[in-house]
Amino acid sequence: MSQSKKTPNRPPVFSIIGSGSWATALLKILEHNGYQVKWWIRQNQDLESIQEHQRNPKYMGSLAIDLSKVTLTNQIKEAVQDADIVLLAVPSFFLENALRGLSKKDLKNKLVVSTIKGIIPSGHQLVTDYLNSHFGVLYENLVVLSGPSHAEEVAYGRMTYLTIGSHSKANSDQLCHVFKTDYLNFKTSEDITGIEYTAVFKNIYAIISGISNSMGYGDNFQAVLVNNALKELAQMLDAFTSSSRNIMDSVYMGDLLVTAYSQFSRNRTFGNMLGKGYSKKAALMEMNMVPEGYYAVQPAYELVEENNVNAPIVAAAFRIIHENISPGIEIRILEDKLE
């Protein structure tokens, strides 16, 4: 692990950055396993509400939270101080703002785990690259936690399979141990970049899946669409990274499938609304949640263009969201490009 101040016999102290559904799910895992947690919640009114009601009213409000080992704070420095492992669970477009009060010293020698499935808009960086370049976090101390998983199912203890991506076997093994429960299973991978890109692109594919679904395209078309998305994803990962992988592994194909098909998928829901004729603004306002794919489309499309990759599904999403082309027109164009 990183060279933190943690003594060999003391359990690690965790910091969770974020107050949404994934942050709440992570808290439930750590609560289940008996760890001390410092939980950063940006809005003071949300913090007070959670403290008073012992549940997160905005996300999974029926889920009881045991705060006996949890310290709530809206001060980012306080949240990471004395923590050994920092878990990032905020939308990608908000990460820079969330960490603004921190310096390189605040994250020095800490293990930083990203559960974020998006890209930093300002510099089009993956989260791990942003943390390395802006905060000097060593790549060996950066970890990604990903896989086919919705926070709602994790929080309520439904069987889930996740992948821990890290360049350090010691860090991977430690996190497998601290997160392990009877409903969570883990495997490890060194393909951090491939895992992060998958988490970005699968959200975009889910938007198109939602659009086609709400326009009346059935399971037959959806199956071909997602199959083509998987092939498109594999080509992009080969172009963007030097690592090898089995695209059929759950952290790749499984994550794509659950995001494209599940009722819990924010990105599919957003696509459903666009397909029904909602404007982007109206869909975002009604959802009151963040579909990461919406913010990822432009940087993802630019990345595809820069690498000269044939990605018609990503291109369709870009034209719908940023060029205001009719979803119906783009889906009909895709009909002739899918195989």
What domains lie within the chain, and their CATH numbers? 14-190 (3.40.50.720), 193-337 (1.10.1040.10)
Strand order in the sheet with 85-88: 70-73, 37-40, 14-17, 85-88, 111-114, 142-146, 160-166, 184-189
Non-local CB neighbours of 53 within 8 Å, separated by 6+ positions: none
> What percentage of the chain exceeds 70 in pLDDT?
98
Residue 195 has pLDDT above 90, yes or no: yes
Residue 1 has pLDDT above 70, yes or no: no
pLDDT at 241: 92
Given pLDDT bands bounded at 50, 70 and 90, which one contains residue 6? low
Residue in the structure block whose two tokens are 């923590």: 83
Residue 262 has pLDDT above 60, yes or no: yes
Given pLDDT bands bounded at 50, 70 and 90, which one contains residue 7? low
pLDDT at 89: 97
**Residue 309 or residue 4, greater confidence:** 309
pLDDT at 263: 84
**85 to 82, 107, 110, 111, 324: CA distances (angstroms):** 9, 10, 6, 5, 42
pLDDT at 60: 81
Quick check: helix, strand or coil at residue 287? helix
Residues 70-122: pLDDT tens digits? 999 999 999 999 999 999 999 999 999 999 999 999 999 999 999 999 999 88
Are the C-beta atoms of residues 30 and 71 closer than 8 Å to each other? no
Average pLDDT over residues 46-55: 92
Residues 199-214: pLDDT tens digits? 999 999 999 999 999 9
pLDDT at 256: 98
Q: What stretches of the chain show up as alpha helix (H) in DSSP?
A: 21-33, 44-53, 76-80, 95-98, 104-107, 127-135, 151-155, 169-179, 192-214, 219-240, 255-261, 266-275, 280-287, 292-306, 312-322, 327-337
d(CA 166, CA 190): 5
Which residues are the active-site residues? 202
Query: How high does pLDDT run on average in the chain?
Result: 94
Average pLDDT over residues 218-245: 96
Average pLDDT over residues 276-282: 96
Among 14, 17, 112, 19, CA closest to 70: 14
d(CA 205, CA 317): 8
CA atoms 226, 229, 231, 233: torsion sign: negative
Residue 10 has pLDDT above 50, yes or no: yes
Among 228, 231, 239, 232, CA closest to 306: 239
